[in-house]
Chains A and B, each alone.
Chain A
């Protein structure tokens, strides 16, 4: 199912009544039956919010009919009460409540009369994470939470993207990759560090192997591949510097925006004026950071964590409340048991409002600040979502910090936002055919 068909189904369910319906008008089995169901509450009663997504994902994967009860008790899940789910939840420490048919009727009544909705989740998405093949999962918030929740994913990297391998996946995640090909601009600051040398060597080898003149050229081709994936119906979720650098790479169509250490030639002095913002998803009119010694890419990021003169302090961001029955997609993306969350730094922490394109949907922002935190939009037949920052539970993340242990943060509201994105493509009926 394409994204627009999916939205149509959801809208049809809304128009047809309080309970979500299939596209043929029937109600999923779990809700027709008088058999008990499991309600996974996602408010403060939940003991492990993150693993709750995994339990739901595996239920769908086993062919069970699940429903996402948007805005009901923090965005709860309704699952069939089967032994496998019960065991899975018990092992993971996920709180489940057994509800009988009459209870389900009451729940539906509450949903019908409030800003809530029930969305069927029917197909576990094929998840891919763009990451170097030998990378440990512990430096990427999404892989960490996928591992913790037990959601299966595949790793893809440059050859998969360049050779069209993304079509196998419904959902693609990008984290702190630098699509401008400048090694996150750590080249000067961390000269001599073994991890940087390894990153440089690996990328240069890959560029040579795939027939590109240099790493920036390779990464630009990868960015184009990702854009094509989204436009053909893929779901893209990006965090940290991947958001900003993907956009810069797309905008730099034939313009040299890479420092000499990356491609051997100086940055085009007029590069900022030559960028083509008609080629990007989210941003426009940005100015590049021209200094190769400053690990910042442009003025898209509001916080500029590595730019001493411009670094901004962390505040808190607030999730927007959308109409569940009219705007189910943004509503899914902001399901959370908290609506104000502590901010966290990344190479790209936030997005300046003045750099957003008009059609972008802001999902979360910081009140009174000139930046936003979490944005979403459509591109072609697909969607993209950008979430600024590196690790929601490590606000000041530094290179070399110990990895975040999510068993110590099972109720993390920030990580929930990531998992909303993982489950969001499950609210569909047929496999994506791009």
Chain B
């Protein structure tokens, strides 16, 4: 008896050891198979994964590995026996059912696909997975109609909002936009996070279908559906309507409302329009009202920036005023806000008010900021026609950007020699790149003119600075008439002609032609001839434009405009795309 008991113990121990040994072997085989797959030895990997499945039919890692390897080998049909074996071991495993459906879809066996999906539905009658995978496999084969039928069947059987999201997506794929809107509206009822996906999905709705989609989303009066509509309107580049709709339908819960506002801001940020920037400002302003302390201040700063981007200076000032009046604002923040506010005022042309605020805060604003604000105020005075006050606003600052501004003031007064000296003092890099380019252009023109003083030319540059191009063109033309033929007349006429061309002014062609007649070999001639060719091309006079381009290319091969001329010639001849 004792011997029998001992033998049973030994047998049990041996079985345990054998089982442990089998598990260890299976893990080693799996690692070897994965390594073979990593090395791209897919045929060997298939065999190795197969050995794992032979001892452990439920090993999903091995099953997925064999699927990957067979996919690479283009032998997916060999996978089915492995799937069936695993399915027999773990009949409730959705992943394996899903794999069978997917594989049959890829193999183009619709009847087997349908019978497998039906068997899966029978095994898991309350699951949406079989319908979803079946429909996806059908859609992959281009059978979107059948795919929608499957989803509808699943929806009917499961009820509620099951498969509504999938139906919405499938509707969108086939362009059934009103149905897509209905299904998104339903899907979002149980998962509010889907609202954003819904809005994005409805963004590509064609113009002709948009009214119907909006009707679907607005008719129920449901705030969530209306927020989806707002999102769709953003996608249709109608930010103003979108904001109105969202603002009226924000959630009552402040945290949820803040979330909706942030999502809206992110969506609107993708567009670059002024209208988009304005509603972004409104949304930040509303968000600031929902928050306290630094978060509210940060939101107001963002609102001010957005309003400034939109050209809505009143909105920007409103935000900044609120911030400066905040008794809890920390001094550094208040100083930064004031710098921004004075800059906004100056840029808005309210030079006197900006100057008053700068005087009040002068001691609390660092020197560099003070100088920069002084220049902005000076430009505001220039644009207001007060050159003397502009000069005073600069004070005694000796920076390079101030020197540049003094150069402009001299030029506007007609002091060509003084302007050239100040511009040289400023150097080529002062200020932003466009400013430097504009200054260089002015220096080049002034240096070609053979007189030290020209009030007419100064007036022309002043008109240009004040963005009165029509007056500037006339003034440059008048100034040119007073210059000697070889003392810059052709250059100034060419400049006037290019200005007129940029402004689509009818005087461009006679001015450019006159410039070329005045000095056909001068330094401005190639640019003038190129500008004339552009003008002719724009008017559809292609043969004349081509003749001008060929002339300038052959006559002035060393000019900087020649690459542009060759490119325009290529475009006019249709040998490169016009975009």
B83 CB-CB contact with A under 8 Å: no
Closest B residue to A403 using CB positions: B577
Within 8 A of A (CB), among B153-184: 173-175
Measured between beta carbons, the chain A residues less than 8 angstroms from B563 are 93
> Which chain A residues in 325-370 approach chain B with CB under 8 Å?
none
* Chain A residues near B74 (CB-CB < 8 A): 272, 287-290, 299
A192 touches B174 (CB 8 A): yes
Interface residue? A98 (CB, 8 A): no
Q: Are B144 and A191 in contact (CB under 8 A)?
A: yes
Does A120 belong to the interface (CB within 8 Å)? no
A148 and B174 within 8 A (CB): no
From A18-26, A30-38, A84-92, A249-257, the one touching the partner chain is A84-92
Of A272, A290, A403, A404, chain B has the most CB atoms within 10 Å of the CB of A290
B553 within 8 A of A: yes
Which of under 10, 10 to 19, 20 to 34, or 35 or more describes the interface residues of A?
20 to 34
Pairwise interchain contact B72-A310, C-beta atoms closer than 8 A: yes
Docked CA distance A310–B570 (Å) = 41
* Per-residue interface assignment for chain B, residues 540 to 568, with 1 indicating a CB less than 8 Å from any chain A CB and 0 otherwise: 00000000001001100100001100110
A378 vs B17: C-alpha distance when bound (angstroms): 67
Give the complex CA separation of A406 and B108 in angstroms.
Answer: 43
Whether B569 and A402, one on each chain, are in contact in the complex, defined by CB atoms closer than 8 angstroms, is: no
Residues 389-407 of chain A, each 1 if its beta carbon lies under 8 Å from chain B, else 0: 0000000000000111111
Task: Indicate if the CB atoms of A187 and B108 lie closer than 8 Å.
Answer: no
User: What distance in Å separates the Cβ of B171 from its nearest Cβ neighbour in chain A?
Assistant: 12
Answer whether residue A27 sits at the interface, using C-beta atoms and an 8 A cutoff: no
Considering only CB atoms, which chain A residue lies closest to B106 in the complex? A291
The answer, yes or no, to whether A293 is at the interface (CB within 8 Å) is: yes
A90 touches B142 (CB 8 A): no
Contacts of A41 in B (CB 8 A): none
Q: Mark B62-77, 1 if CB is under 8 A from A, else 0.
A: 0000001001101000
How does the 8 Å CB contact mask read for A275-314 relative to B, with 1 for contact and 0 for none?
A: 0000000000001111111000001000000000110000
> How many interface contacts (CB-CB < 8 Å) are there between A and B?
72
**Hey, what's the 0/1 contact readout for A90-129 against B, CB within 8 Å counting as 1?**
1111000000000000000000000000000000000000
Is B16 interfacial (CB-CB < 8 Å)? no
Contacts of B566 in A (CB 8 A): 91-93, 407
Q: Are B175 and A91 in contact (CB under 8 A)?
A: no
- Chain A residues lying within 8 Å of B108, measured Cβ to Cβ, are 260, 266-267, 290-292
Query: Are A191 and B579 also in contact (CB < 8 A) when A289-B74, A309-B72 are?
Result: no
CB contact under 8 A between A150 and B575, given known A91-B554, A93-B562, A261-B142: yes
What is the CA–CA distance of A159 and B40 in the complex, to the nearest angstrom? 45
A127-180 contacts to B, CB under 8 A, are: 138, 147-148, 150
Chain A min CB distance to B335 (Å): 46
What is the CB-to-nearest-CB distance from A62 to chain B, in angstroms, rounded to a whole number? 18
**Residues from chain B with Cβ under 8 Å of A405 in the complex:** 576-577, 579
- Give A407 to B142 CA distance when docked, in angstroms: 41
* A405 and B570 alpha carbons, distance in the complex (Å): 10
With A188-B141, A407-B566 as contacts: A90 and B71 at CB distance below 8 Å: no
Shortest C-beta distance, B42 to chain A (Å), equals: 11
B293 within 8 A of A: no
**In the complex the two chains form, what is the Cα distance from A150 to B569 in whole Å?**
12
List residues of chain B with CB under 8 Å of any chain A CB. 68, 71-72, 74, 106-108, 140-142, 144, 173-175, 550, 553-554, 557, 562-563, 566-567, 569-571, 574-577, 579
Given contacts A91-B550, A91-B566, 19 further A-B pairs with CB under 8 A are: A90-B554, A92-B566, A93-B566, A147-B574, A148-B576, A191-B174, A192-B174, A192-B175, A266-B108, A291-B106, A291-B108, A292-B141, A292-B142, A293-B140, A299-B74, A309-B68, A402-B579, A404-B577, A407-B576
Closest 8 CB pairs of A and B: A403-B577, A188-B142, A147-B575, A293-B140, A407-B567, A407-B576, A93-B566, A138-B577
